[in-house]
Amino acid sequence: MTLQMKIAPAEVAAPTAPSRHWPLRLDGEAVIESRLQADGSLELTAQAGSATIGRAGLRTPEGDGPGILVIHRPDATHPGDIHVIAILVEAAFQLFPAMVALHLPDVAGKPALLPLTAQTVTDDATSTSAVRIAREHFYQLPLLWHRPEGLRAFPEIRSAIGPQDRLPPLRPPQPTGIFYRRWIPELGTTLSMRAIDRRRDLKLFHGWMNQPRVAFFWELAQSEAELDRYLAEQEADPHIFGVIGSLGDEPSGYFEFYWAKEDRLGPFYDAEDYDRGWHGLIGNSRHLGRARTGTWFRSVTHSLFLDEPRTRRVVGEPRASHQKMLSYCAQTAYDKVKEFDFPHKRAALVCCQRERFFREVVL
Q: 305-360: per-residue pLDDT in tens?
A: 999 999 999 999 999 999 999 999 999 999 999 999 988 899 999 999 999 999 99
What pLDDT is recorded for position 48? 54
Give the burial string for 156-172 (b: 16+ CB within 10 Å, else e): eeeeeebeeeeebbebe
Catalytic residue among 262, 317, 339, 355: 317
The reply to whether 19-138 and 148-360 are identical in fold is yes
Top pLDDT among 33 and 309 is at 309
State yes or no: pLDDT of 57 exceeds 60. yes
Top pLDDT among 38 and 313 is at 313
Top pLDDT among 341 and 124 is at 341
What pLDDT is recorded for position 153? 77
Average pLDDT, the chain: 88
Hey, what's the torsion of the CAs at 82, 88, 92, 97, to 10 degrees? 60
What pLDDT is recorded for position 30? 67
What pLDDT is recorded for position 149? 57
* 283 contacts 211 by C-beta, under 8 angstroms: yes
- Region for 256 from its dihedrals, namely left if φ exceeds 0, alpha if ψ lies in -120 to 50, beta otherwise: beta
* 198-209 vs 224-235: helix crossing angle, rounded to 10: 120
Q: Is residue 11 very low, low, confident or very high in pLDDT (cuts 50, 70, 90)?
A: very low
The percentage of residues in the chain with a pLDDT greater than 90, rounded to a whole number, is 61
Q: How far apart are CA 177 and CA 29, in angstroms?
A: 13
Query: Is the CATH code 3.40.630 the one for domain 19-138?
Result: yes
What pLDDT is recorded for position 1? 35
- Average pLDDT for 199-215: 96
* 54 contacts 44 by C-beta, under 8 angstroms: yes
User: Active site includes 355?
Assistant: no
Q: Which residues, 6+ apart, have CB-to-CB distance to 290 below 8 Å?
A: none
CA-based angle 54:60:66, to the nearest 5? 100
How far does Cα 354 stand from its chain's mean position? Answer: 12
- Average pLDDT for 197-210: 96
- Average pLDDT for 113-122: 89
What pLDDT is recorded for position 29? 57
* 323-331 vs 290-307: helix crossing angle, rounded to 10: 60
Top pLDDT among 259 and 158 is at 259
Lowest mean pLDDT among 45-54, 212-221, 271-280: 45-54
Name the 3-class secondary structure at 88: helix
What pLDDT is recorded for position 150? 54
* Residue 62 φ then ψ, to 5°: -105, 120
Top pLDDT among 45 and 2 is at 45
User: What pLDDT digit, counting tens, does each position of 248-273 carry?
Assistant: 989 999 999 999 999 999 999 999 99
Q: Is residue 38 very low, low, confident or very high in pLDDT (cuts 50, 70, 90)?
A: confident
Stated pTM of the model: 0.90
Q: Is the dihedral of CA 291, 292, 296, 302 positive or negative?
A: positive
State yes or no: pLDDT of 303 exceeds 90. yes
CA-based angle 163:166:172, to the nearest 5? 80
State yes or no: pLDDT of 31 exceeds 80. no
State yes or no: pLDDT of 14 exceeds 50. no
Q: How far apart are CA 358 and CA 85, in angstroms?
A: 20
What pLDDT is recorded for position 32? 83
CATH architecture of the domain 148-360 equals 3-Layer(aba) Sandwich (3.40)
* Residue 208 φ then ψ, to 5°: -65, -45
Lowest mean pLDDT among 31-35, 146-150, 195-199: 146-150
C-alpha closest to that of 351 among 324, 322, 329: 329
State yes or no: pLDDT of 8 exceeds 70. no
Query: Would you kindly state where each structural domain of the chain is located, as residue ranges?
Result: 19-138, 148-360
Q: Is residue 62 very low, low, confident or very high in pLDDT (cuts 50, 70, 90)?
A: confident
What pLDDT is recorded for position 9? 34
